[in-house]
Amino acid sequence: MEKSYRAELVGAFGCPIDENPTGVIEEAAFAAKGLNYRYLMIKVNDGDLEAAINGMKAFNMRGINCTIPHKVKVVQYLDELSEAAALVGAVNMIVNTDGHLWGDNTDGKGYMKSVRDAGVDVAGKNVTILGAGGAARAISVECALAGVKHITICNIVREQGEELVELLNTRTNAKADFVFWDKAIDIDPSTDILSNCTSVGLYPNCDQKPNINYDTVLPSMVVTDVIFNDPNSLFLQEARKRGAMTINGLGMLVNQAALNFKLWTGVDAPVELMVSTLRKEFGLDEE
Ligand code: NDP
């Protein structure tokens, strides 16, 4: 290719966005692969999404990540959706090919990879999911597409939980049930994988944990958390005390960033470097 002084632009639209570390790991990966790409953290307020999408097209940006509060609203501006994004009804990454916008949801795929990397096969398993927000939707849909047998959705807001259960039962092959989470709940002993998909425990509220009866967590369960800061969440600490294997949210974060890297550049992401960059960013190797 002829030398180009123009960088390919990617980035993230969100609000809040300042604390999001994705740019650090993507930029490290671009540098390692010798790619002239820039990843920009762009604050886009709630009412400005359409203008931002038009701006992205005008700047010929290669793509963008969408985070809070844009993941659902952005769908109306896209030309095409992946299967998972269409089912979830939310998009966290867009590829711009000459003005044609394709949206995917790589949150759930990043989660699945972190689980598989830990040696866990989800096919035919029973999964209990705490929460019914964006992460819960992405993860439960991806679990269903990967052949999970049964999914239990636990949520405080009944409508949101029941809507997700309906989606899973009518549009995927998995069977799903709803548990109204109005008090400390017991985890059903048939659960193989217990997944915290709530924001409980997220920094700076690291002293909080989801309201479950922890003595119903069994050593046979694999317990996962979407929380990546602190990766050693109280939820996972309690599960480990009961003998369960645990998987933190760092893998999900890095894996979805790696998937996005590949979708934008066509080049395999340097995943190990992305992991070590993130750990360094969070000061995790200094203890
Ligand atoms: P949403 O706001 O869409 O959903 C939050 C969920 O948490 C809802 O189901 C909500 O329940 C539930 N919740 C909030 N507070 C409580 C509580 N005190 N007790 C029980 N449930 C509660 O957020 P997202 O799904 O987008 O994000 C959730 C978390 O996942 C965030 O911490 C985010 O940082 C993390 N995340 C991590 C990723 C990674 O790569 N590791 C990727 C994406 C997200 P209700 O509806 O009843 O209010």
pLDDT digits (tens, 9 = 90+) for 123-164: 999 999 999 998 999 999 999 999 999 999 999 999 999 999
Six-digit token pair at 85? 């994004």
199-234 pLDDT per residue, tens: 999 888 999 999 999 999 999 999 999 998 889 999
**Pocket-testing residue among 88, 178, 198, ligand 1, by greatest number of atoms within 8 A of Cβ:** 198
User: Which protein residue has the closest C-alpha to ligand 1 atom 1?
Assistant: 133
**Residue 1, pLDDT score:** 60
Distance from the CA of 135 to the center of ligand 1, in angstroms?
A: 6
Active-site amino acid positions:
71
Contact assessment for residue 65 and residue 12, using Cβ atoms and an 8 Å cutoff: yes
Ligand 1 centroid to residue 133 C-alpha, Å: 6
Ligand 1 close to Cβ of residue 157 (< 6 A): yes
Q: Amino acid identity of 73?
A: K
Q: How far is the CA of 136 from the centre of ligand 1 (A)?
A: 7
Say what the pLDDT of residue 28 is. Answer: 98
Task: Check if 93 has its Cβ closer than 6 Å to any atom of ligand 1.
Answer: no
Question: Which whole number is the average pLDDT over 169-173?
Answer: 96
What separation in Å is there between the alpha carbon of 199 and the centre of ligand 1?
4
What is the total residue count of the chain?
287
Mean pLDDT, range 275-287, rounded to an integer: 84
* Residue 4 pLDDT: 84
Dihedral sign (CA 26, 45, 109, 251)? positive
- Of the pLDDT bands very low, low, confident and very high (cuts 50, 70, 90), residue 286 is low
Output the pLDDT for position 244.
98
Helix 22-32 / helix 271-281 crossing angle, nearest 10 deg: 140
> How many Å apart are CA 70 and CA 65, to the nearest integer?
10
Model pLDDT for residues 13-59, shown as the tens digit of each residue: 999 898 889 999 999 999 999 999 999 999 999 999 999 999 999 99
**Interatomic CA distance for residues 220 and 243, integer angstroms:** 8
Q: What is the CA 122 to chain-centroid distance, rounded?
A: 17
This prediction's pTM: 0.93
Block residue for tokens 């974060």: 253
> Would you state the pLDDT for residue 32?
98
Question: Which atom of ligand 1 lies nearest, measured to the CA of 249?
Answer: 41
CA-closest candidate to residue 235, choices 199, 284, 273: 199
Vertex 252: Cα angle to 50 and 210 (nearest 5): 95
Token duo for residue 51: 């203008």
Evaluate: CB of 67 within 6 angstroms of ligand 1.
no
Which whole number is the average pLDDT over 82-111?
96
Please, which pLDDT band fits residue 284 given cuts at 50, 70 and 90?
confident
Closest ligand 1 atom to Cα of 253: 40
Q: Is 156 in the pocket of ligand 1 (CB under 6 A)?
A: yes
| Residues of the chain above pLDDT 70, percent | 99
| CA of residue 198 to ligand 1 center, whole Å | 3
133 lines ligand 1 (CB under 6 A): yes
Ligand 1 in reach of 202 Cβ (< 6 A): yes
Contacts of 117 (CB under 8 A, 6+ apart): 251, 255
Q: What is the mean pLDDT of residues 239-263?
A: 97
